[in-house]
Amino acid sequence: MGRALIDAWRRDGILQIAMAPRQQEVYERAQEASREFFAKPPALKAACVDSQSYAGYIASGEEITDGVADYSEIFTVTKDLPLDDPRVVNKWPCHGPCPWPDHGMRNSMKQYMEYLGESGEKLLRLTEYGLGVPEGSLTRLTQDGWHHLRVLRFPQRNKTNGKGKDGRGIGSHTDYGLLVIAAQDDIGGLFVRPQYDHEKFANWQKSSAGLHEDDDRWVYVPPQPGVFTVFPGDIMQYMTNSYLPSTPHKVGLNRRERYAFAYFHEPSFQAVARPLPGYEAGQKPHEGIHYGTHFTNMFLRNYPERITTQRMLAEDRYQKLAEPALRTMRSESVSEAINSQASVPMGARL
């Protein structure tokens, strides 16, 4: 199954998994909470912002991809930390509370994320088998993972606020971490573009936003009830030396509004990802990718005007990313740890 998973990603850029019945219930409850939230008055939604975390509301037209406004309306959930959490007290970038509108939304989304957290771990274990790398090579990174969720609403085409290009939901881009687990309602809009052999991109070096936005190689992902769509992110691409490229995707608008979720199964904020055993080919950066820095860079790029960005710059928080306390997890210690346990067999190398 692990091998089939890898083959599907390499061929199509995505794969789909069926929701378990309990997951379907939790998904439907989250959908209801999402619809309730987006139906609230604009001022109420706009108040769901936090100056320390990027969690909370993003109005239609506020997000920027490749310099152009997106019409998506978003509620982002990041690790929900109280103000007295030491990481918040010590002003770690992007760390803070999630500004929930109410308990109902909080409970529905937390439950949804918990279920997807379990699925994410299973998928990573299968990915390890499929890649032939030692068990734990990927899942060790996701202990205390910086998993986050984007609750999305896309307005009906021609019912937008008139900014930017006509009819754009979200411009083409890749996502940041290990895995994306997406779900959409019965209205389509997601497009993916599997990487072609001669193409090389690395979103952590040069933005892949807007890449091939208008060429004819985009594949429409039809809505299918009861499935999650799964694809790799930037850190997976780096760790596998592009054997599993981060899948470019974009969202178009449709004749009706649509609701979707994107859950990101991520390394710990403190993790430094290194190439996996058997996939080291001198890929840059040689020192590895610090996930917290990559995440912070991406949000600074997408939300230049947000209060969180302004506060981070004003308080010089970005410098903290270089501190040892924020870099406590290094993935190369995985193979060292596993090698030291003779009873754990090494996976086959590719």
Q: List residues binding Fe ion (CB under 5 A).
A: 175
- Cα separation, 332 vs 323, whole angstroms: 19
- Cα separation, 317 vs 296, whole angstroms: 11
- 48 vs 298, beta carbon nearer Fe ion: 298
- 175 vs 266, beta carbon nearer Fe ion: 175
- 80 vs 175, beta carbon nearer Fe ion: 175
Taken as a whole, the chain contains a residue count of 350
Neighbours of 315 (CB within 10 A): 14
Provide the minimum distance between the beta carbon of 290 and Fe ion in the complex, in angstroms, as a whole number: 21
Provide the minimum distance between the beta carbon of 149 and Fe ion in the complex, in angstroms, as a whole number: 12
Provide the minimum distance between the beta carbon of 118 and Fe ion in the complex, in angstroms, as a whole number: 22
Q: Reduce the DSSP state of residue 260 to 3 states and report it.
A: strand
Provide the minimum distance between the beta carbon of 12 and Fe ion in the complex, in angstroms, as a whole number: 16
- Cα separation, 114 vs 30, whole angstroms: 12
- 97 vs 177, beta carbon nearer Fe ion: 177
Provide the minimum distance between the beta carbon of 152 and Fe ion in the complex, in angstroms, as a whole number: 9
- Cα separation, 321 vs 249, whole angstroms: 29
User: Which regions of the chain does DSSP assign to beta strands (E)?
Assistant: 15-18, 56-58, 64-65, 68-69, 73-77, 148-154, 168-173, 179-184, 190-192, 219-220, 227-232, 249-252, 258-265, 271-273, 289-290, 329-330
Q: Reduce the DSSP state of residue 133 to 3 states and report it.
A: coil
- 177 vs 347, beta carbon nearer Fe ion: 177
Neighbours of 32 (CB within 10 A): 13
At 50, the amino acid letter reads D
Neighbours of 95 (CB within 10 A): 23
Q: Reduce the DSSP state of residue 203 to 3 states and report it.
A: coil
Nearest residue relative to Fe ion (C-beta): 175
Under a CB-based contact definition with an 8 Å cutoff, are residues 310 and 299 in contact?
Answer: no
Provide the minimum distance between the beta carbon of 107 and Fe ion in the complex, in angstroms, as a whole number: 25
Provide the minimum distance between the beta carbon of 17 and Fe ion in the complex, in angstroms, as a whole number: 18
Provide the minimum distance between the beta carbon of 330 and Fe ion in the complex, in angstroms, as a whole number: 27
- 62 vs 175, beta carbon nearer Fe ion: 175
- 74 vs 272, beta carbon nearer Fe ion: 74
What is the sign of the dihedral through the CA atoms of 61, 104, 110 and 25? negative
- 119 vs 137, beta carbon nearer Fe ion: 119
Neighbours of 99 (CB within 10 A): 17
